[in-house]
Structure formats: C-alpha cells, structure tokens
Amino acid sequence: MSLQPSDNMIQGKGYIAEIIRTSRRKTASIKVNEGKVSIIVPESLSTEQIESLLTKKHRWIKEKLSLNEETVLIKAKEFVSGESFAYLGRNYRLKVIEGLYPAIKLHQGRFVASVRDKTVNNAPSIKQMLIRWHKQHAESKLIEKTARYAKIISVCPSSAGIKSYQSRWGSCSHTADIHYNWKVIMAPNRIVDYVVVHELCHILHHDHSPAFWQTVERYFPDYLECKEWLKLNGKRLDI
Ligand SMILES: [Zn+2]
C-alpha cells in the first residue's frame, strides 16, 4: 500500500480507499458503499495504522466490493420472450403470446404470458402478472412449509403470510405472527426451508443470540451455507 499524492487517499490491494479524518471519533471504521471504500479514523491515527487496519479487513472489503459488482451486473428485465424468471431455484423462460385475456401460467417449463396485443409495450402488465403469480405461489408454499416445520420444531405460529420487504427475508412478531418476503420463493427449495426454520425458531428466541442459532442448527445443520447463499444471491431474487 502507498499514499496517494492527495494524502486522503490510500491504495489498497485492488482498490483505493478514501481516508476521512475526524476529531469526533476515537475508533476507526471502514465503509464500502456503491463500490467506494472509505475509512473514517481519529485524527491522530498514523498511515501505518490505517494500512494495517485495511490489511486486517481485506477479505471483508473485497467481499463487499464483489457484492456491489454483482448488483450492478443484474440487468433490468424487459419482460420479453426469452428472458428467464426464477421459481424455487429454477429458471423458466418467458414466452409472450397473444390471447383474449391477459394471463400468466407456468406451462411445460415456461412462463407463458398472454397479452391482448403483442405490438404494444406489455412490460408493465407482464411484470405485474409475474409478481402476482410469484406472490400466490409464495403464499401457498410458505404456509405449507411453515406447517411442516412447525410440527418438527414443536412450535405453534399464530399466522403465516407474505409481505413485500426491501431488505429482509422474513419476520416473526412477539405474538408469533410470521411474514415472509415473497421474493424468497425464487430461491432454491433448501434456502426457502432455511428461511422458514429461521423464522419459526424466533418463536423460541426473539433475537439472534447464540441460543437462537443453536436451535436453528439443531433443525437445519447446513444453515450457515444457506445464510451465505442468501447474502451472495439475495439481490438477484427480484422481478
Ligand atoms: Zn432472524
């Protein structure tokens, strides 16, 4: 690592970090936002100390940076024939056909969308139909899985349903009402099961304490892999 001429930039391994010095801080913190790395440090911290902090956090920084790259690479959908949409971890191609009524179904390994007139822009309505289809299937699958795992874990949820969340996969209230992010239905079965087990275990532990994770592990030994999968692929699960 070496200092940039400006003195507030530092060259890391494969990235450049901005150094923000402040008298209001006693400890340093590193941020990775939209592909940019910044390190906020107390004014007195030496360049060597900053370098060693970045070295220590190297893996974490690279991981954050690569997540950002993947997000940028996710192309905006156009909702035209040939595009793929996921359901339970499998990708199904979309086929747009003309029909009397707007409708969507999963038929012989394809999402078939019927539109009244193929020559106009149908993207907004096909998107709506796909979302509605996924929400319906998410709801029934997740309710079914919740009932199945509730028996195994010996818990009794008050209700189970779906919601639209920005950045979470589920929630469990103190009254044991469970909601899942419908988008999780695009993930592979095993991942969906993990989210169900995770929320059900919150009926026993309303936090992410070691006791909570021990319970999750008891019923779902490979939960760490699923957690990691969601961290890496979660942003792709969208329509
Ligand atoms: Zn949780």
Q: How far is the CA of 134 from the centre of ligand 1 (A)?
A: 23
Q: How far is the CA of 37 from the centre of ligand 1 (A)?
A: 28
Q: How far is the CA of 145 from the centre of ligand 1 (A)?
A: 17
Between these two residues, 176 and 24, which has the higher pLDDT value? 176
Q: Are 152 and 196 in contact (CB under 8 A)?
A: no
Q: Residue 174 and residue 202: Cα distance in Å, rounded? A: 9
Going by their DSSP bridges, the two strands 177-181 and 159-163 should be labelled as: parallel
Q: Which of the 8 DSSP states describes residue 3?
A: B
Planar angle of CA 114, 123, 92, nearest 5 degrees: 65
- pLDDT tens figures, 92-143: 999 999 999 999 999 999 999 999 999 999 999 999 999 999 999 999 999 9
Residue-wise burial string across 127-152, b where 16 or more C-beta atoms lie within 10 A, e elsewhere:
eebbbebbbebbbebbbebbeebbee
Helical packing angle, 123-153 and 210-219, nearest 10°: 90
Q: How far is the CA of 212 from the centre of ligand 1 (A)?
A: 9
- pLDDT tens figures, 213-238: 999 999 999 999 999 999 989 988 99
Q: Are 196 and 145 in contact (CB under 8 A)?
A: yes
Q: How far is the CA of 171 from the centre of ligand 1 (A)?
A: 7
- Given a cut of 60, is residue 205 above it in pLDDT? yes
Mean pLDDT of the chain: 91
Measured from the Cβ of residue 119, the count of other Cβ atoms closer than 10 Å reads 7
